[in-house]
Structure 1
Amino acid sequence: MGWATALLDKYHFDIYFRAQVHVATLQFSYLIFLLLFFWLTLNKTYDELKDNLIENIMAVISDPAIELSETLPQIVNKSSIGDVLYVFFGLAVATIIFNYTIALFTFKPIGNALNLQKRFIGNVAHELRTPLSLLKTNTEVALITEEVSESMKEILNENIEEIDRISNIINNLLSLNALFQVDTITFVDVNLKSAIETSVQSLRDRARSQGVILKIKGSKHLVVHGNKSALEQLVTNLIKNAIIYSPKNKNLPVYVTISPDNLGHINLTVKDRGIGIERKDLFRIMEPFYRAEESRKREETGSSGLGLTIVNEIAKLHRANVFIKSAVGEGTSVRVRFPEAAHWIAHSKIPL
């Protein structure tokens, strides 16, 4: 009986095996249902046909001169058509219910695993913030100590840069995790131009240090229905990417443009003249931590690998679409198309 105990333990602790058992059980139950359904239908058809024939035979016996309203083939056809329709609609309803139930049992462990993963990422990211902050503080204190040699200071500065990069990844993980908790996100009418100006202002120093010029173009008052903080993060991530992948100290512009398209949409476009993205990478750059070709490695750029993933998730929450055009050596243009606030069904929280 050891195998039975092993299977029972696997059923209790392996959610995917448990789902397989549930699906197999449902399929077997559906087979039994089909057999019973056909048996009952055949019995019903037989009983109706028998009753109609007996009724007509008794009528003829009692009065040979009587003229029957239906012939034998008509009686059979009438019974057959009714039963075929009965079987068809019965099977259609049963199949829909069965498939829906199968889907519930199949996707439940996947959903549980995803929820567990989200909670794990959020908890780990929160737990890492405090020790990283303490580590950075101690390193900065060590830097101002006179006894530290120049070579050691260089190492400590590199450590601070790595700590900042890890902190950036953790902050992005927390942001990404928060975006999945849709019920906690409040939506209001937001002036998109205001969100752009806030993001540009926060990145001007970084752009200046890279030798990049930020330029805003477009209408002053275009309103979308959304979350202001999330929209500012979307714009910030796009501009930050444009700065990171622009050549340093070339005084090249990064254009941030906002404009309506007269079709009920507002287009936000961030365009740079940076290194560009190869065509083969364009289809995957929204994936978390996806590594593109060598020139866009995170070790060289300081990118967390989550910026565009967060942009994509924020766009989905706002019913927006993301379009990317790029050519190696010429630059990249990212356009996010939002629905205007007037075309949004007004409510405070976006539905799942």
Structure 2
Amino acid sequence: MKLIYQNMLGFLLIIVTTISIIGYSEIGYARNQAYTQNYQRMEGYANSLGDLAEADGKNGTALLNNNFLNQLQFVLHGDDVHLRIFNDKNQQIYPKTDSDIQLSKTVFNTLQNGQEIRIQNNHDENSPIRSTKDAYTGVLVPWMNGRNLVGIAWISSRVKHVERPIYTAKRNLLRALLITVAVGLLMSFIISYYSTKRIKKLSRATQKVAAGDFDVHIPHKDSDEIDQLAENFNKMVKALKQSNEEVKAQEKRRDQFMADAAHEMRTPLTTINGILEGLQYDAIPEESKPKSIALMQHETKRLIRLVNENLDYEKIRNNQIMLYKVNFNAVPVLHDLRSQLMQNAKKANDQLQVVAPDEVEVYADRDRFTQIMVNLIQNAIQFTHDGKIKIISQRLEHGAQFSVQDNGIGMDEKQMKFIFERFFKADPSRARLGTGESGLGLSIVSSLVKQHGGKIEVKSEPEKGSIFIVTLYDKGYEQFVKKKK
């Protein structure tokens, strides 16, 4: 069943149930009122006749002669009221009949004690008065003179006459129910249509998102739960769009990496294969063979480095390496790295400078710390020409901080966002051999710093240079980041 029909059915059930409860209560109230008023009216007649009967102390019913009662019955007949009179001997004295009509002993004894009897319907099984052709309701009122019974008045009227207002109330209730159902159908359709219309918008938007359209936006007014759902949907679509863009960017960088890796591997392999063919067919002069072999070794090292960087990154990313962390002075390590990388810096006409006190104690794995700083310094050399690169070190409270600052090409915000991701190159066109051309160096740095419980930050502006800041904390102060599930 469609939601709109479910909502309409729900509204109608509520309406019908409410009207039925109200109608049942109203009819019950109308019935009680009708019978109560009828009892009071007939008791009034009976009491008035009783006053006349008590006026004669000798014979209480003497004043109520047949002529008077016939005239009274004629008057009451127009109101559908019927009268019967019994004397103190339980004999019906009006109207006169050939047979001797008496009340049952139980009823007479009750009346003789001065108790009034109300009869709602003499067709009921529990009625104290025998049933008649038509159903009657009425009262039996004793006339008392002190403690002595003077007479009994039985005044009654047809039940259908008393329940006439109840029938009218039922008809009115049925009419109101039909009108209410009709109006309820219309209103429930409008309300359900409005609600399901907004849900259909969400459904259509969901289908578009499933088809890959992440530019969907559902307008809302923040008035109810459906609007809250629409707001959450918009947030979800925005997040999915960002994730999709990041996935595409990752795919693009991966494809670029594969192309770069294929190119980097094809070049040395081609060189090696050419030299081997030359050696095989003695096409290389004897004096050129040492140079050719040295070139093969250089190209082979390039291939090994490319493979090792990928394997190293996977091990670091999957926590498959063991860190042997100790306290040591990092300054000698930085000076050694300056000496080792000075040749690369000279090729780019860069100045390489260490700015540090005599001692900066750090708690880290010495080899991995060296790997972190080598990658950062090589990255600075790669993107700096005719510039200056500073390696800065200092102690902090509960840690040590190391910065690699250059005045090279720098990066914009978009590049900084992905700089630590695998395969990313800030400027692939300016990558040079031997200086992290695989696009894995900074990814390895970021993973190693995190495994040390430290943090890495980058600040950069295009054409003004970059600064990478690594903070490694003392033992017991590491900031370990929980992995996402």
Bigger CA drift: 50-59 or 336-345?
336-345
One-letter code of the match for 2:19? Answer: L
The CA deviation at 1:282 is: 8.0
Does the aligned pair in 2 maintain the 1:267–1:336 contact within 8 Å? yes
Mapped to 2, the partners of 1:91 and 1:39 lie a distance apart of 22
TM-aligned CA distance change 1:193 to 1:281, over 3 Å? farther
SS in 1 for 2:286: coil
Higher helix share: 1
One-letter code of the match for 2:20? Answer: I
SS in 2 for 1:310: helix
Name the TM-score, length of structure 2 as normaliser. 0.39
Mapped to 1, the partners of 2:3 and 2:290 lie a distance apart of 81
The CA deviation at 1:55 is: 0.4
The CA deviation at 1:58 is: 0.6
TM-aligned CA distance change 1:42 to 1:175, over 3 Å? farther
Q: Which runs of 5+ in 2 are unaligned?
A: 34-176, 200-223
One-letter code of the match for 1:323? Answer: V
Q: Give 1:164's aligned residue.
A: 301
TM-aligned CA distance change 1:290 to 1:237, over 3 Å? same
Q: Give 1:233's aligned residue.
A: 371
Say yes or no: does 1:215 pair with 2:348.
Answer: no
Q: Give 1:333's aligned residue.
A: 467
Mapped to 2, the partners of 1:94 and 1:188 lie a distance apart of 52
Equivalent residues in 2 for 1:210-289, closer than 5 Å: 215=354, 217=356, 220-223=360-363, 230-243=368-381, 254-260=390-396, 267-272=401-406, 276-279=408-411, 283=415, 286=419, 288=423
Does the aligned pair in 2 maintain the 1:256–1:270 contact within 8 Å? yes
Q: Give 2:138's aligned residue.
A: none
1:290 to 410, 418, 425: 425
Mapped to 2, the partners of 1:322 and 1:153 lie a distance apart of 46
Could you give the per-residue CA deviations for residues 118-149 of structure 1, whole angstroms, max 9, x where no partner exists?
xxx9xx99xx9xx98xx79x98xx8xxx9732
Bigger CA drift: 46-55 or 203-212?
203-212
Say yes or no: does 1:205 pair with 2:340.
Answer: yes
One-letter code of the match for 1:217? Answer: A
Does the aligned pair in 2 maintain the 1:270–1:334 contact within 8 Å? yes
Tell me: higher relative CO, structure 1 or 2? Use CA pairs within 8 A at least 6 residues apart: 1
The CA deviation at 1:37 is: 4.8
One-letter code of the match for 1:171? Answer: N
The CA deviation at 1:236 is: 1.9
Q: Give 2:215's aligned residue.
A: none
Could you give the per-residue CA deviations for residues 177-215 of structure 1, whole angstroms, max 9, x where no partner exists?
334x43545678765865x75576466334367556552
Does the aligned pair in 2 maintain the 1:315–1:336 contact within 8 Å? yes
One-letter code of the match for 2:469? Answer: R
Mapped to 1, the partners of 2:230 and 2:391 lie a distance apart of 57
Equivalent residues in 2 for 1:121-136, closer than 5 Å: none
Mapped to 2, the partners of 1:346 and 1:280 lie a distance apart of 29
Mapped to 2, the partners of 1:198 and 1:63 lie a distance apart of 100
The CA deviation at 1:63 is: 0.4
TM-aligned CA distance change 1:245 to 1:190, over 3 Å? farther
Could you give the per-residue CA deviations for residues 289-339 of structure 1, whole angstroms, max 9, x where no partner exists?
636286xx33466542422343345456657342133675x7643223567
TM-aligned CA distance change 1:291 to 1:56, over 3 Å? closer
TM-aligned CA distance change 1:147 to 1:339, over 3 Å? same
Q: CA RMSD in A?
A: 5.8
Equivalent residues in 2 for 1:1-352, closer than 5 Å: 36-64=2-30, 148-150=286-288, 152-179=289-316, 181-184=317-320, 191=327, 194=330, 198=333, 201=336, 204-207=339-342, 215=354, 217=356, 220-223=360-363, 230-243=368-381, 254-260=390-396, 267-272=401-406, 276-279=408-411, 283=415, 286=419, 288=423, 290=425, 292=427, 297-299=430-432, 302-306=435-439, 307-315=441-449, 320-325=455-460, 328=463, 332-337=466-471, 344=478, 350=483, 352=485
Could you give the per-residue CA deviations for residues 254-308 of structure 1, whole angstroms, max 9, x where no partner exists?
4232443x6x885420124x6x1155598268262636286xx334665424223
Does the aligned pair in 1 maintain the 2:455–2:471 contact within 8 Å? yes
TM-aligned CA distance change 1:242 to 1:149, over 3 Å? same
One-letter code of the match for 1:215? Answer: V
Percent of paired sites with the same residue: 13
Does the aligned pair in 1 maintain the 2:454–2:479 contact within 8 Å? no
